[in-house]
Amino acid sequence: MEANVFDLGKVRRDAVVTIRLDAMANVRLLTEVNFEAYRRRQYYRMHGGVATAPMFKIHIPANAHWFLVLDVEGLENLPLHPRVSVEPEPAVLARGRAGHR
């Protein structure tokens, strides 16, 4: 099964990526440079891991252009039906609102 690739675009640090899946999957959050290395099957750095529950959350560690890759390599080959959302971290929103009066 092919990997599901999501181009998240430029995302700010502390945003939260929420992934909802119907089966276990490998979840890789990659910067643009690391995504290109992943595509070329070279050494790359990632954030994420194996999603064993229907919902998996990852905090964005830095301001950058991000890609999310989902696959079942080494896992049972079941349909994932992924649903992905990116939202600012709630604490960041609360701090931002407190400063505006």
Out of 34-38, 67-71, 96-100, least confident range:
96-100
The predicted pLDDT at position 93 comes to: 47
Parallel, antiparallel, or unpaired for β 16-20 and 64-71? unpaired
| Residue among 63, 59, 66 at smallest CA distance from 45 | 66
Mean pLDDT of 27-51: 97
Both structure tokens of 10: 């430029």
pLDDT category at 25 given cuts 50, 70, 90 is very high
The full DSSP string for the chain is -PPEEEEEEEE-TT-EEEEE-SS-EEEEEEEHHHHHHHHTT-----EEEEE-SSEEEEE--SSEEEEEEEE-TTS-------EEEEE--HHHHHHHHHH--
Q: pTM of the predicted model, to two decimals?
A: 0.84
What is the set of domains in the chain, with CATH numbers? Answer: 4-99 (2.60.120)
Residue recorded with tokens 């899946």: 21
Whether residue 89 is predicted with pLDDT greater than 80 in this model: the reply is no
d(CA 75, CA 96): 41
pLDDT at residue 76, as a whole number: 92
For residue 3, pLDDT over 90 is answered with yes
pLDDT > 90? residue 94: no
